Amino acid sequence: MTGTLVLVRHGQSEWNLKNLFTGWKDPDLTEKGVEEAISAGRKLADRGLIFDLAFTSDLVRAQNTLTLMLKELGQEGLETRRDLALNERDYGDLSGLNKDDARERWGAEQVHIWRRSYDVPPPGGESLKDTLARTLPYYVTDILPEVMRGRRVLVAAHGNSLRSICMVLDRLDREHIVGLEIGTGVPMIYELSADTTVKSKVTLDS
C-alpha cells in the first residue's frame, strides 16, 4: 500500500512582502498570497486529488492557505489537525525586523550565517537544526502513519518546517538542505512506498 503526501508552503504573507523576518509572528496573507493559495488548490483539483486529512501549523498564514485550498477542492469540512510543531522557524530577536536593517545592525555576514547555516541560531531563536528537532518527531508520529495507512494527506506549513520534512523525504544532507528553496503556494506531491521512501515526486510550480 502506498500513500500520498502533499506539502505546500503558505502563500505570500504581509511580512514576506515587507521583507521582514517573520518566524512565529502571525501576519496574514497578502492579496498575492491569497491568489497563490487559490492557485495551489486549483492545481491539486485539476489532478483529481481528494484528501482524507490535513495538517497545518498554529499560524494564520498557513491556516488560511489551507482553507483557501480546501475551498477550491470542495473539501471545506476536511478533518484538520493544527500543531505548533509545524510552525515556521523562530527567528528570535530578528522577528519583525527588516532584513536590510538587520544586516546594518549585525553585519551582512552574521545575518547570512543565521539565515543559511544549519545549526547556528539567531539570538533568542532557532536554527534549522532546532526546527527539525521539533518538526520531524511530529512528522514521524502523527503525519507519516496516516500516509502509511494509504491516506491522502495535505500539509500546509512554512518554508523551514517543510524543509525539515523534505530533508528526510529527499534524503538531503545538512549542506544541501540549507540551500533548498520552497516556493510560496507551490504543491509538492509525494507518493510513498510501503517502506516510507519516496516512490515519486511531482512539484506543481507552473
Residues involved in catalysis: 10, 88
| The pairing of beta strand 152-157 with beta strand 188-192 | unpaired
Report the distance separating Cα 165 and Cα 138, nearest Å: 10
Report the alpha-carbon distance of residue 188 to residue 45 in Å, rounded: 14
Distance CA 48, CA 127 (A): 37
Report whether 157 contacts 10 (CB < 8 A).
yes
Q: How far apart are CA 94 and CA 98, in angstroms?
A: 8
First-residue to last-residue Cα distance in the chain = 30
Give the closest residue to 1 by CA, choosing from 168, 201, 199.
199
Listed in sequence order, the residues at least 6 apart from 74 whose beta carbon sits closer than 8 Å to its beta carbon are: 45
